[in-house]
Amino acid sequence: MKAERLNEILDQIEQDLGISERIKIELKPMKIKAASISFKSKTLRINKNMLKDLDEDCIRYLILHELIHYKLKSTYHSDRFYRQLDEKISRSEARELEGKILRSLLELNNIL
Amino acid sequence: MKAERLNEILDQIEQDLGISERIKIELKPMKIKAASISFKSKTLRINKNMLKDLDEDCIRYLILHELIHYKLKSTYHSDRFYRQLDEKISRSEARELEGKILRSLLELNNIL
């Protein structure tokens, strides 16, 4: 996926969540993580090693997931976190995308 | 879940996959892994820290997943691996269970 397209998706989701700060997106090879966000540097990182396995819906999910962490200024997957997520994506769709992401992580780590 | 029930599920799946060796099952707190299998000691480990989040279908999936590794004597998630998995569980069901497992892993690690 091209950087331009990534930034388009990022912009859409930022708007949708009502985030006004400018978040940067970065592709970075990581060992364990699928994605991460730094509240301080306002940088969302996606694991470069997983990109080849992930379709646009998965990327969109990762960006949504990280931006909800940013919005809540919390890295926890609390009830509050999942309530926000549920507003933007159905549980069954989220579950399916999370399953795809797990499969991609399996290629990088022996988590099972 | 009781040890007895775990062993029942293990026995069922071993039979179904045509594995004649006796595999031991062990609950062990692990940091990164959901489950693992040792070919040498014939021990299947499930992450004790995740048990509270996982329903019986997820546990069954983890056991099936590890026993396919054992049967193929390979820790890779190759096409051959997924062909075996597809014979035992539909893709959509597997995806959903993998999504649940990812969510449980999220509680233990900041993988996203």
Instruction: Tell me the chain B residues in contact with residue A45 when contact means C-beta distances shorter than 8 Å.
Output: none
Rounded distance between C-alpha atoms, residue A110 and residue B35, angstroms? 9
Determine the Cα–Cα distance for residues B84 and B69; give it in Å rounded to an integer: 10
Burial call B44-60: b when 16+ CB within 10 Å, e when fewer: bbbbebbeebbeeebbb
Chain B residues with a Cβ under 8 Å from any Cβ in chain A: 32-36, 62, 65-66, 75, 77, 92, 94-103, 105-107, 109-112
The alpha carbon of residue A18 and the mean position of all alpha carbons in its chain are separated, in whole angstroms, by: 16
- The answer to whether the CB of B82 falls within 8 A of the CB of B32 is no
pLDDT score at B71: 98
- A interface residues, B as partner, C-beta within 8 Å: 32-36, 62, 65-66, 75, 77, 92, 94-103, 105-107, 109-112
Taking phi over 0 as left and psi of -120 to 50 as alpha, with beta for the rest, A104 belongs to alpha
- With vertex at residue B106, the alpha carbon angle to CA B78 and CA B95, rounded to the nearest 5 degrees, is 40
- Interface residue of B98, B103, B107, B108 to substitute, partner A, most A CBs within 10 Å: B98
Predicted confidence at residue B31, as pLDDT, reads 85
Across chain A, which has 112 residues, the per-10-residue mean pLDDT values are: 91 97 95 93 96 94 98 95 97 93 86 88
Query: Mean pLDDT, 10 residues at a time, over chain B (112 residues)?
Result: 91 97 95 93 96 94 98 95 97 93 86 87
Model confidence pTM above 0.90? no
Please give the Cα distance from B69 to A101 (Å, whole number): 20
Residue A106: list chain B partners with CB under 8 A: 77
* Rg (chain B; Cα; Å): 13
